[in-house]
Amino acid sequence: MEKNVNITKDSIKSVIQDFISTSSLNSLQNGTDEPAWDQALVGLASGADPIWQQYKEYVGAFHWTPWEVFNQHCPEQNVSADQLMVVSWVLPQRKPVRKSNRVSRNYPSEEWARIRVYGEEFNIALRRHLVEQLASSGHPAVAPMLVPNWTIVKSERFSYASSWSERHAAHAAGLGTFGLCDGLITAKGKAMRTGSIVVKLSLKSDPRPYFDHHAYCLYYSDGTCGKCIDRCPARAITPNGHDKEKCRQHLVRSRKYVKKTYKFEGYGCGLCQVGVPCETIIPVKTAREALKSGKLPPPPPPLA
Ligand code: SF4
Ligand code: SF4
């Protein structure tokens, strides 16, 4: 991006899509030409959106607002919250990767484990690239997940949580809502990874086309489904939600499996993200149709 060019959502989207199309890092790194990712969904949220304060109250005081993280790392800019935007993106898993993990019963397929490692390396590079591109056009930016003081802390409510959650940023930017398994269900489904940056820029925020943070999950919307419960080899998902600690322990065990079976240092699981109704779509029909039409769906009736 050149200095003083007019930055729009479309120009940001182009930087992201161009990097996905051209970066040599967008690779499964398995000796083929297979990319890790195709195209991304992109959403914007204002740094002054009240949702960031709500996250602080719900997740914990340690969860940064965009203003906090930006001002820690660019204090000389002396900005107010309404001068900041969060740019969030969703990288949907590609069909062959999803297909391979659908048949997994305990540990991830090789493709899925490669995405967890090499796909995320690309996602890190994408955050850096966007920060550099925006900064070079006169808009300083920060990638909260990449700052040295980003950390994971113990949380009473969630067992552990971090100073910045990519999925929460995506939710704020109108990109999706949470499922029973805690994954974010987006217009391209739940099999995906997310990323975000905070930038000094004023643009229009994207609307959040949902009434609550569970609107796209069948279990929360009408009490049906629960397919992710059966998919989880660690019994980490129940009708009460997702047990992060059980999930984490399974991911630790997966390291040994990945090294022994696929001969590289990796890990992963994601079995609850595939072979379920929310793998590639929003499974709640009214919510899916509302998103297409651009109108808010009617609020769901209370569960009996
Ligand atoms: S599999 Fe069903 S219950 Fe689980 S997150 Fe998806 S829609 Fe919700
Ligand atoms: S909840 Fe964790 S352990 Fe269970 S299927 Fe999902 S990623 Fe795997």
Q: Tens digits of per-residue pLDDT, 223-251?
A: 999 999 999 999 999 999 999 999 999 99
| Alpha helix positions (H), 118-176 | 120-136, 166-172
Ligand 2 atom with least separation from CA of 182: 1
- Can you tell me the distance from the alpha carbon of 182 to that of 260, in angstroms, rounded to the nearest whole number? 29
Is it the case that residue 300 has pLDDT exceeding 80? no
Ligand 1 atom with least separation from CA of 226: 3
Q: Whose CA is nearest to atom 3 of ligand 2?
A: 247
Q: Whose CA is nearest to atom 4 of ligand 2?
A: 232
CA dist 271 → 44, 105, 181 (Å): 29, 7, 11
The beta strand positions in the chain, using DSSP E, are 41-46, 84-92, 141-142, 152-155, 159-162, 176-178, 184-186, 192-200, 237-238, 241-242
Ligand 1 atom with least separation from CA of 216: 7
Domain limits, the chain: 9-293
- Can you tell me the distance from the alpha carbon of 116 to that of 160, in angstroms, rounded to the nearest whole number? 20
Q: pLDDT category, 303, cuts 50, 70, 90?
A: low
Is it the case that residue 259 has pLDDT exceeding 60? yes
What does the block give as tokens for 278?
Answer: 């929310």
Q: What's the pLDDT score for residue 158? A: 72
Using a pLDDT cut of 70, give the percent of the chain over it: 97
Is it the case that residue 133 has pLDDT exceeding 70? yes
Ligand 1 atom with least separation from CA of 284: 7
- Can you tell me the distance from the alpha carbon of 163 to that of 144, in angstroms, rounded to the nearest whole number? 8
- 198, 142 contact by CB (below 8 A): yes
Distance 31 CA to ligand 1 centre (A): 34
Mean pLDDT value of segment 157-183: 94
Residues with Cβ within 8 Å of residue 6, at least 6 apart in sequence: none
Amino acid at 61: A
Residue-wise pLDDT for 143-161, tens only, equals 999 999 999 988 777 778 8
Sole residue written with tokens 């820029």: 201
- Cβ of 225 below 6 Å from ligand 1: yes
- Cβ of 247 below 6 Å from ligand 2: yes
- Cβ of 227 below 6 Å from ligand 1: yes
Q: Whose CA is nearest to atom 5 of ligand 2?
A: 232
- Cβ of 250 below 6 Å from ligand 2: yes
